């Protein structure tokens, strides 16, 4: 019997729950939330396979050892505590958050637990696309990833923090943070269109782990949607980002048969939908109920490192999330 514990009832968690409960072969879905009533409300229309998971937020996370996998769709620092609890329980875990899990590597190996980080739009799907593109080259020279949009207020805050932090890039085998660049105008699939994106450090490490040997890797983030008191006024402007849309582009340049070539992949959808589907598919794969090509091993790994691109992208497409080359061809 396969069961998954889903942590989080925000925008991403709701989408992930819907994906998991509809996954053939999954016997039970437990949903944990700091506000129990949110979990109760979420499971009511999902049938008898879904149920709220009772835990005491004051005492910290508790992962039952009888679940097959854990999906963490909540922000830091809570995400770290849940991942640590999953490791101690000996249960594999997929988490949307991507930074700060290095200190758990030894514990994950000691408990023979697979921890898959960065299971969102980017890092996450962007890294799978980068790995897919890299497979078309004899040598990869550059990978440039850019993303816009956010799945809720917490995600928007994380984007703002990343844009305020010191930017960085990977160049010629070393980390560089001594160069500051202005925003760059990039084009994303419609309805998002062109956006100014700023160089950030977030996501670069995941990219380098996904495409070993890349000479130059960068990550850029566009301005997040407007939140708080200005949200209503922002919606009047009909900006797709303020209506939940998000987009990403992955540009990979390398050498193939002695010639230099570039491949650009793009994806556009509701940000929360993409992140929810990605973390759900990763967790379902860890639970053994989805054939998405996840070759996870004990330790902490990024999604791009462990996901075989073709089966993973095919499973996402089956669930409605599709990426395409900028010339209009679906990756195959």
Q: Where are the domains of the chain?
A: 2-120+275-318, 125-271
Amino acid 235: pLDDT: 53
Nearest to 177 by CA among 208, 152, 200: 200
Amino acid 329: pLDDT: 46
Q: Per residue of the chain (332 residues), what is the pLDDT tens digit?
A: 799 999 999 999 999 999 999 999 999 999 999 999 999 999 999 989 999 998 888 888 999 889 999 999 998 888 999 999 999 999 999 999 988 788 999 999 999 999 999 999 999 999 999 999 999 999 999 999 999 999 888 888 889 999 998 899 999 988 888 666 678 999 998 899 999 999 999 999 999 999 999 999 999 999 988 765 545 555 546 788 888 899 999 999 999 998 999 999 999 999 999 999 999 999 999 999 988 889 889 999 999 999 999 999 999 999 999 988 876 444 55
Amino acid 330: pLDDT: 47
Amino acid 173: pLDDT: 84
Amino acid 65: pLDDT: 85
Q: Give the 3-state secondary structure of the chain.
A: CEEEEEECCCHHHHHHHHHHHCCCCEEEEEEECCCHHHHHHHHHHHCCCEEECCCCHHHCCCCCCCCCEEEECCCCCHHHHHHHHHHHHCCCEEECCCCCCHHHHHHHHHCCCEEEECCECCCEHHHHHHHHHHCCCCEEEEEEEEEECCCCHHHHHHHHHHHHCCCCEEECCEEECCCCCCCEEEECCCCCCEEEEEEECCCHHHHHHHCCCCCEEEEEEECCCCCHHHHHHHHCCCCHHHHCEEEEEEEEEEEECCEEEEEEEEEEEEHHHHHHHHHHHHHHHHCCCCCCCECCCCEEEEHHHHECHHHHHHHHHHCCCCCEECCCCCCC
Amino acid 186: pLDDT: 94
Amino acid 215: pLDDT: 95
The residues, ordered by sequence, that sit 6+ positions from 44 with a Cβ below 8 Å of its Cβ are none
Amino acid 146: pLDDT: 97
- One fold for 2-120+275-318 and 125-271: no
Query: Hey, what CATH class is 2-120+275-318 in?
Result: alpha beta
Query: Hey, what CATH class is 125-271 in?
Result: alpha beta
pTM of the model: 0.93
């Amino acid at each position: 019997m396969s069961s998954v514990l889903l942590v989080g009832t925000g925008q991403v968690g709701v989408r992930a729950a819907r994906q998991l409960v509809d996954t053939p072969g999954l016997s039970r879905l437990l949903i944990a939330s700091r506000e129990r009533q949110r979990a109760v409300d979420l499971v009511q229309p999902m049938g008898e396979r879904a149920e709220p998971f009772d835990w005491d937020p004051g005492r910290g996370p508790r992962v039952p050892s009888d679940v097959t996998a854990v999906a963490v769709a909540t922000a830091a620092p809570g995400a770290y505590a849940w991942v640590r609890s999953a490791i101690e329980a000996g249960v594999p875990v997929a988490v949307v958050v991507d930074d700060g899990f290095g200190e758990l590597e030894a514990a994950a190996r000691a408990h023979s637990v697979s921890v898959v980080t960065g299971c969102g739009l980017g890092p996450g799907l962007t890294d799978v696309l980068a790995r897919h593109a890299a497979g078309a080259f004899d040598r990869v020279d550059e990978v440039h990833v850019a993303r816009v949009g956010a799945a809720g207020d917490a995600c928007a805050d994380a984007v703002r923090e990343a844009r305020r932090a010191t930017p960085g890039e990977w160049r010629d085998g070393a980390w560089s943070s001594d160069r500051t660049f202005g925003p760059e105008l990039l084009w994303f699939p419609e309805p998002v269109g062109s956006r100014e994106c700023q160089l950030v450090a977030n996501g670069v490490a995941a990219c380098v782990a996904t495409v070993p040997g890349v000479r130059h890797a960068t990550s850029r983030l566009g301005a997040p949607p407007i939140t708080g008191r200005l949200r209503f006024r922002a919606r009047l402007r009909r900006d797709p980002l303020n209506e939940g849309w998000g987009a990403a582009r992955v540009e990979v340049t390398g050498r193939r048969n002695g010639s230099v070539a570039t491949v650009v992949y793009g994806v556009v959808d509701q940000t929360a939908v993409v992140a929810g589907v990605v973390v759900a598919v990763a967790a379902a794969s860890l639970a053994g109920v989805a054939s998405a090509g996840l070759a996870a091993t004990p330790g902490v790994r990024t999604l791009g490192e462990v996901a075989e691109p073709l089966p993973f992208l095919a499973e996402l497409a089956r669930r409605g999330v599709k990426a395409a080359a900028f010339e209009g061809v679906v990756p195959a």
